[in-house]
Amino acid sequence: MNAVELKDIRKSFDGGNEFILKGLNLKIPKGSLTVIIGYSGTGKSVMLKHILGLIKPTSGQVNVFGQDLWQMTNKDIMKLRTNIGVLFQHAALFDDQNVIENVTFPLIEHLKGKKHKEYIEIASKKLIISGIEEKHFLKLPSELSGGMRKRVALARALALDPEILIYDEPTTGLDPILTEMVDDLILETHMREEGRVTSIIVSHDLMAAFRIGQYIVMLDKGKVLHSGKPEDFLKSDIALVKKFVEKGTKKKYGL
Amino acid sequence: MTVTSNSKLFRFLSSIVEYISDLVSECGYIVLFLIKSVKAVFQSPYRYQEILKHIEFIGVQSLLIIALTSAFTGMAMSFQIFLGFQLVNATNLVGPTVGLGIMRELGPVLTGLIVAARAGGAMAARLGTMRVTEQIDALEVMGIDPIQYLVGPRVLAALISMPLLCGFFDFVAMSGSYMLCVHALGLDEGIFFDKIQLWLNPRDINEGLIKAAVFGLVFGAVCTYKGYNTIGGAKGVGESTNKGVVNSMVLIIAINFVMTNIIRFVSTLMGGAN
């Protein structure tokens, strides 16, 4: 079964003159870890917003867990989103809430009927598995380092035990050590709940894609240029894919 | 020289026309945004705590600045009117004249302008920052309606706070007027109150309070709309805050004029005095 299926998605923001997505077809199997790569402006973020139901396609169909998003009511889309956790590029933590409040926030909103202590307990567990020690729980996001903010954001994304985890450029702007740490965290999180959680990572980082991705999808000019396992990617004859591989990973790993 | 002056004048006039046409065309979107946000407030889950939090910010935290401005406005207005009325030997009417001016016009307008600048600007900046740092997107993907969570409570809080602040403005301004007229300018205390009671109607106070409520809706909707739809980084936040406050102020003054005329017209139709 596919967790996400995009069928012939076309998207134009200016009434049909210029299309950002030009008939994009993509299937993401349930339980997989898929990395979506591509140059800037190829439509990765727009595609992500389609999966989240934040943007309506000009034409085509977006299925999440077999349900056509745009046949659902707004209320049902909101409910479906509680089953999707998102880690944003810059963490997007609520800056007026401390670490623990950021993680309890979605719990209080969606898990009704629990005592405040229970929310704290769930949030603490999520923070600890994301690598945040208890001494940081009462700090504001502005008091945390970039890597720690990402960890807190991951804990928040995990709070409601979603079945789809989306990472939007999770390592952009981080140094190589933090980049590797975040990649490891993504992999650990996926492995911990293997089979149940579908992870979708949008990234520029080819090395990370090869290191953690089970499937790699490359977008170009609003379409899927190539998709498959990392080894298929290395064997691809498509010129642009070859260029990507040569420049990004082959040299680094001596493949 | 004349050609340069003419072209400068033309550019100046066309920039005013452009500003007005932009504001008018945006008003439609703002009204739709307002309807959506007010509707959202009355849908489950109800955000009572958020509403109270924003009433505290818009209302309670504005009390000091309102008290200071209203006291000095009341005193300055009383002094000028006293000087004028002294020429025609009508100083007994200073109290009701100040009262009418404050309660019908200056109270709601000045309260609107002050609170739009203080709280409206803060609302636009806060929502703008949340937009550019993806916090609004984060709310949405968590299955929380940002209009319901962020916008609705702010607009409703502005609507509730403004008449209360306006009432407070009226009270402090009249107290200032009383202090100046009776204790500094030597007007008789009994005459001051008697004339106010004679010339002022509860209707005059209500008129100001209704206007204040409308101004609350206006700056609440304009500033949240601008903040919510911020694009760009820090520059975008600055621009939306600036436009939110300036547009609110222009609209408050323009709507005040329209409302004054409508109320006078309705009042005449109903056979009441102006």
Domain extents in chain A: 1-83+163-175+193-255, 92-161
Contact between chains at A82 and B140 (C-beta distance less than 8 A):
no
Per-residue confidence (pLDDT) for residue B24, from 0 to 100: 82
Angle of the B202-228 helix axis to the B234-269 helix axis, nearest 10? 150
Q: Report the C-alpha gap between B230 and B150 in whole angstroms.
A: 14
pLDDT at A252 over 60: no
Q: Report the C-alpha gap between B27 and B237 in whole angstroms.
A: 20
Mean pLDDT computed over every residue of chain B: 93
Q: Which residue of A has its CA nearest to B144?
A: A78
Mean pLDDT computed over every residue of chain A: 88
What percent of chain A is modeled with pLDDT above 70? 97
SS3 (DSSP) at A24: strand
Average pLDDT of span A210-225: 90
- Identity of the amino acid at B250: V
Per-residue confidence (pLDDT) for residue A255, from 0 to 100: 43
Per-residue confidence (pLDDT) for residue B1, from 0 to 100: 54
- Write the CB contacts of A237 (distance below 8 Å, at least 6 apart in sequence): none
Give whichever of A116-125, A225-234, A236-245 has the largest mean pLDDT: A116-125
Chain B hits for A88, CB-CB cut-off 8 Å, are 134, 137-138
Q: Report the C-alpha gap between B238 and B256 in whole angstroms.
A: 27
Per-residue confidence (pLDDT) for residue A233, from 0 to 100: 82
Complex ipTM value: 0.85
Chain A hits for B134, CB-CB cut-off 8 Å, are 88-90, 92
Per-residue confidence (pLDDT) for residue A138, from 0 to 100: 96
Average pLDDT of span B26-50: 92
Per-residue confidence (pLDDT) for residue A251, from 0 to 100: 47
- Identity of the amino acid at B148: Q
Per-residue confidence (pLDDT) for residue A71, from 0 to 100: 92
Residue B152's H or E segment, with its range, is: helix B152-178
Per-residue confidence (pLDDT) for residue B3, from 0 to 100: 67
Q: Report the C-alpha gap between A168 and A165 in whole angstroms.
A: 10
Residue A60's H or E segment, with its range, is: strand A59-64
Domain segments of chain B as ranges: 48-265
Chain A hits for B143, CB-CB cut-off 8 Å, are 78-82, 106, 109-110
Please spell the DSSP secondary structure of A177-196, one letter per residue.
Answer: HHHHHHHHHHHHHHHHTTTT
**Are the C-beta atoms of residues A34 and A215 closer than 8 Å to each other?**
yes
pLDDT at A30 over 50: yes
pLDDT digits (tens, 9 = 90+) for B163-183: 999 999 999 999 999 999 999
**Are the C-beta atoms of residues B191 and B93 closer than 8 Å to each other?**
no
Contact between chains at A92 and B140 (C-beta distance less than 8 A):
no
Q: Which of A206, A227, A229, A230 minimizes the C-alpha distance to A217? A: A227
Biggest distance spanned by C-alpha atoms of chain B: 70
Is A52 part of the contact surface with chain B (CB cutoff 8 Å)? yes
Pick among A50, A76, A80, A90 to test the B interface (most B CBs inside 10 A): A90
Rounded to a whole number of angstroms, the distance from the CA of B134 to the nearest CA of chain A is 5
Average pLDDT of span A129-149: 92
pTM of the model: 0.86
Contact between chains at B142 and A54 (C-beta distance less than 8 A):
no
Helix-then-strand count for chain B, H and E: 12, 0
Among partner residues A81, A93, A94, which is closest to B143 by beta-carbon distance? A81
Average pLDDT of span B86-107: 95
pLDDT at B217 over 80: yes
- Topology of A1-83+163-175+193-255 in CATH? Rossmann fold (3.40.50)
